Amino acid sequence: MAIKNHDSVIVLDFGAQYSQLIARRVRECGVYSQIVPYTVTADEVKAIAPKGIIFSGGPASVKTPGSPRPDSALFSLGIPILGICYGLQVMSEMLGGNVTCPEKKEYGLQNIDIVDKSSVLFSNVSDKTQIWMSHGDSVDRIPDGFHVTATTATCPYAAVEDTKRHFYGVQFHPEVVHSVEGDKMIRSFVLDVCNAKADWNMGSFVEDAIKEIRETVGDKRVLCGLSGGVDSSVAAVLIHKAIGNQLVCVFVNNGMLRKNEAESVLDLFGKNFSMNLQYADATDDFLSALRGVTEPEAKRKIIGKVFIDTFYNEARKCGDISFLAQGTLYPDVIESKSPSGGPSSTIKSHHNVGGLPEDLKWQLLEPLKELFKDEVRALGKELGLPDELVYRHPFPGPGLGVRCIGEVTKERLDTLRDVDAIFIEEIRKARLYDKIWQALADLLPVKSVGVQGDERTYREVCTLRAVTSEDAMTADWYRMPYEVLQRAALRICNEVSGVNRVLYDITSKPPGTIEWE
Ligand code: XMP
């Protein structure tokens, strides 16, 4: 997304898991932010004309030959710079300071002492405040012109600044929630150091996105896979607003949807939006391609491929298509690859991004790929989508296929659909749905012995999982009241014939992921 009529602060991505979180914190200040690769040139930055630049953290060591370096001419643009962790180290090294690689790495919560109370960065922050450290290397000599503004017991250069040149650096991560007043530091940098005007909001995003989609698409046609989830629905409505009937939405029934999902999506979109919407029931194609497959990545790849084949089939019915639109969000991208082509490491090849063929016939259109889920929800509200859709729990593209552990068969899917429906119904009845980021059920390829009505049973085991999260990058298990678990477990064993044992998953992310596969 290009920045048009608003002040912006750009984030140079050195490969941090948190780059987009920094951008999001800036947007929370009402100032547009996007991330750009660290290789951006000073001329390119001049063309964007940001009010400030933030250097992200990153996994490299500045002491390793070939580690990422920004264009040194950035330091002469007169634009304020904030370096975070690796960003501070690379700035220090390039401006004449020094960085060492001590044997002991420093991770976790710390308190910083603000030693220069006149620092603008800390003007709204308590004198001692908790921050999150995660670094191997440390600055051990700061460049000329800099002075120390905060320290910790183990880090003499926790924060430094050169107020004349407007260069700031912090060794910790103000962007993560564990840095309790980190958002205030970012706000002070953006609004007080950079003097950016806080006039950006989701309404501005819609305006800019519509312009950009029109420019990109021209008079060509776009096919959008609509799943009925928040992301693809918001993407579809946004694109529809931009290009109207040049958009064709395809709702694919892959046989791995939740109970009554197809009917309710068709009903909702049929009633509320006058879009071109095609329905493709490809259940048999998906299930036959998945026969005998149990390996999670193989399943994801197959599901991705059959999706694309189905889209190709559907596209034949509606003339020339040039673009495939998807509701890919930032967390989908980061866990598959670094969004700016930067150097962050691959966590898991999946989500919308992982399943696409290299030789895709169409160009991708992903207008939400810089946003986090709650930002997409705000955008959905802005676009007038109904609350029942905007506040739905996330549901993965490959659907129940990645929750049916082991082989995906129609029979097992039917079982899982029933388990899932009961679990969600009980959560709704207990009025907990909106307190939970996501609730899900998985079916395990493990059988256990039970007894029901004096009869021995030997059936599969299901797990229930509910998590709280800010953005799906990390998650904690939800402390579900026992009564709700009890009701759900009882109903599942009584009403679902394929299952006789129910477990509740208490793994957080990390070390687990939200989905089992
Ligand atoms: P994990 O399991 O990686 O999931 O912790 C993080 C979030 O992403 C959702 N998810 C997906 N969403 N396509 C999607 O659109 C996918 O392939 C996919 N896999 C996981 C997951 O439900 C959670 O909200």
> Tell me, what's the pLDDT at 106?
82
Nearest CA to ligand 1 atom 7: 472
Distance, CA 332 to ligand 1 centroid (Å)? Answer: 7
What is the reported pLDDT for 290?
98
pLDDT tens, residue by residue, 163-182? 999 999 999 999 998 999 99
- Does 168 map to a domain? yes
Statement to judge: residues 14 and 157 lie in one domain: yes
Residue among 226, 351, 516 to mutate when testing ligand 1 (max atoms within 8 A of CB): 351
| Residue 341 confidence (pLDDT) | 45
Q: What are phi and psi of 466, to 5 degrees?
A: -140, 135
Residue 188 and residue 50 in one domain: yes
Q: Is the dihedral of CA 343, 349, 354, 359 positive or negative?
A: positive
Q: Whose CA is nearest to atom 4 of ligand 1?
A: 514
Asked if 431 contacts 400 with a C-beta cutoff of 8 angstroms, the reply is no
Are 321 and 341 contained in the same domain?
Answer: yes
Q: Using the atom order of ligand 1, give the atom closest to the CA of residue 355.
A: 17
- For position 353, what pLDDT does the model report? 52
Structural domain contains residue 398 = no
The whole-number pLDDT of residue 26 equals 97
Question: Does the residue 316 lie in any domain?
Answer: yes
User: Which pLDDT does position 62 carry in this prediction?
Assistant: 95
User: Same structural domain for residues 58 and 150?
Assistant: yes
Closest atom of ligand 1 to 329 CA is 15
> Residues 282, 314: one domain?
yes
Whether residue 107 is predicted with pLDDT greater than 80 in this model: the reply is yes
Question: Same structural domain for residues 386 and 413?
Answer: no
pLDDT of residue 343: 43
Give the nearest ligand 1 atom to 515 CA.
2
Which pLDDT does position 342 carry in this prediction?
Answer: 47
Between 360 and 72, the higher pLDDT residue: 72
Q: Residue 228 and residue 350: Cα distance in Å, rounded?
A: 19
Quick one: tokens of 29?
């200040």
Could you tell me the CATH number of the domain that includes residue 75?
3.40.50.880
Please name every residue paired with 439 in a beta bridge, in sequence order, or none if there are none. 466
Q: How far is the CA of 15 from the centre of ligand 1 (A)?
A: 21
In a domain, 510, yes or no: no
Confidence of residue 339 (pLDDT cuts 50, 70, 90): very low
Do 24 and 144 share a domain, yes or no? yes
Closest residue by CA, ligand 1 atom 24: 394
Atom of ligand 1 nearest to the CA of 231: 15
DSSP string spanning 356-423? --TT-SSEEE-TTTT--HHHHHHHHHHTT--HHHHTPPP--TTGGGGTB-S---HHHHHHHHHHHHHH
pLDDT mean across residues, the chain: 92
The pTM (predicted TM-score) of the whole model is 0.79
CB atoms closer than 10 angstroms to residue 184: 18
Q: What does the alpha-carbon distance between residue 203 and residue 213 come to, in Å, rounded to a whole number? A: 15
Q: Give the distance from CA 402 to its chain's centroid.
A: 18
Residue to mutate (ligand 1; options 227, 231, 347, 350; most atoms within 8 A of CB): 350
Q: For 171-222, write each residue's pLDDT tens digit.
A: 999 999 899 999 999 999 999 999 999 999 999 999 999 999 999 999 999 9
Same domain, 315 and 233: yes
Residue 220 lies in a domain: yes
**How remote is the CA of residue 437 from the centroid of ligand 1, in Å?**
12
Atom of ligand 1 nearest to the CA of 373: 24
Residue 329 is part of a domain; what is its CATH number?
Answer: 3.40.50.620
Tokens 């299901």 -> residue? 462
346/227 same-domain check: yes
Task: With a cut of 70, say whether residue 340 has pLDDT above it.
Answer: no
CA 136 – ligand 1 centroid, Å: 30
Atom of ligand 1 nearest to the CA of 335: 3
Q: How many angstroms is it from 169 CA to the middle of ligand 1?
A: 34
**Is 353 within the bounds of a domain?**
yes
Is residue 517 a part of any domain in this protein? Answer: no
Among protein residues, the one with the nearest Cα to ligand 1's atom 9 is 396
Task: Compute the distance from residue 39 Cα to the ligand 1 centre, in Å.
Answer: 30
Sign for the CA dihedral angle at 394, 395, 398, 403 comes to: positive
What is the 3 state secondary structure string of 487-504?
HHHHHHHHHCCCEEEEEE
Pocket of ligand 1 (CB under 6 A): 332, 335, 348, 350-352, 394, 396-398, 438, 472, 509, 513-515
Q: How confident is the model at residue 438 (pLDDT cuts 50, 70, 90)?
A: very high
CA 331 / ligand 1 centre spacing (Å):
8
Q: Is 512 within a domain?
A: no
206 plus 146 within the same structural domain: no
Q: Whose CA is nearest to atom 22 of ligand 1?
A: 396
* Highest mean pLDDT (candidates 11-20, 90-99, 101-110): 90-99
Structurally, the chain folds into a number of domains equal to 3
Least confident among 262-276, 285-299, 425-439, 483-497? 262-276
| Residue 452 belongs to domain with CATH number | 3.30.300.10
Ligand 1 atom nearest to CA at 347: 3
**Which residue of 256, 515, 516 sits with most ligand 1 atoms within 8 Å of its CB, as the best mutation to test the pocket?**
515
Q: Which of 158-162, 224-228, 314-318, 335-339 has the highest mean pLDDT?
A: 158-162
The residue whose C-alpha atom lies closest to atom 11 belonging to ligand 1 is 396
Q: Which of 451, 448, 480 is nearest to 464 (CA)?
A: 480
- pLDDT value of position 103: 79
Q: What is the pLDDT of residues 113-172, one digit of tens each?
A: 999 999 999 999 999 999 999 888 999 999 999 999 999 998 999 999 999 999 999 999
Which mutation among 514, 516, 517 tests ligand 1's pocket best, with the greatest number of atoms within 8 A of CB? 514
How far, in Å, from the CA of 453 to the mean position of ligand 1? 39
Beta bridge partners of 130: 111
The neighbouring-strand residues paired with 450 are 457
- 164, 193, 222 — which closes off a domain? 193
Instruction: Show which of 360, 390, 420 is a domain's final residue.
Output: 390
pLDDT above 90: percentage of residues in the chain: 80
Q: Residue 231 sits in which domain range? A: 202-390
Measure Cα distances from 121 to 35, 125, 159, 168 in Å.
21, 8, 9, 8
Q: What is the pLDDT of residue 274?
A: 87
Spatial separation of the C-alpha atoms in residues 477 and 265, rounded to whole Å: 29
From 356, 390, 424, give the residue that closes a domain: 390
pLDDT tens by residue, 42-66: 999 999 999 999 999 999 999 999 9
My answer on whether 448 and 377 are in the same domain is no
Residue whose CA lies nearest to ligand 1 atom number 16: 351
CB 366 within 8 A of CB 351: no
Q: Are the CB atoms for 271 and 241 separated by under 8 Å?
A: no
Which residues make Cβ contacts (< 8 Å) with residue 321, sequence separation at least 6?
221, 222, 223, 248, 315, 362
- The residue contributing the CA closest to ligand 1 atom 12 is 396
pLDDT of the residue at 347: 41
Return the active site residues.
Answer: 85, 173, 175
Residue 348 has pLDDT above 60, yes or no: no
Q: Please check whether residues 352 and 427 belong to one and the same domain.
A: no
